[in-house]
Amino acid sequence: MIKVYGVPGWGSTISELMLTLADIPYQFVDVSGFDHEG
């Protein structure tokens, strides 16, 4: 299974769409706060 790291609204939608259309299972990992310390 592929892990897609992203933040909602930051551009991972295209990757998710292509994986879905190709019927490739993936897990979305929300990394909100990646641009802040801690």
Q: What are the structural domain ranges in the chain?
A: 1-38
Instruction: Find all residues with CB under 8 Å of 32, minimum gap 6, and list them.
Output: 7, 8
Parts of the chain with a pLDDT under 70: 35, 38
CA–CA dist 38, 25 (Å, integer): 30
**What pLDDT is stored for residue 38 in this prediction?**
59
CA-based angle 32:16:24, to the nearest 5?
130
CA–CA dist 31, 37 (Å, integer): 13
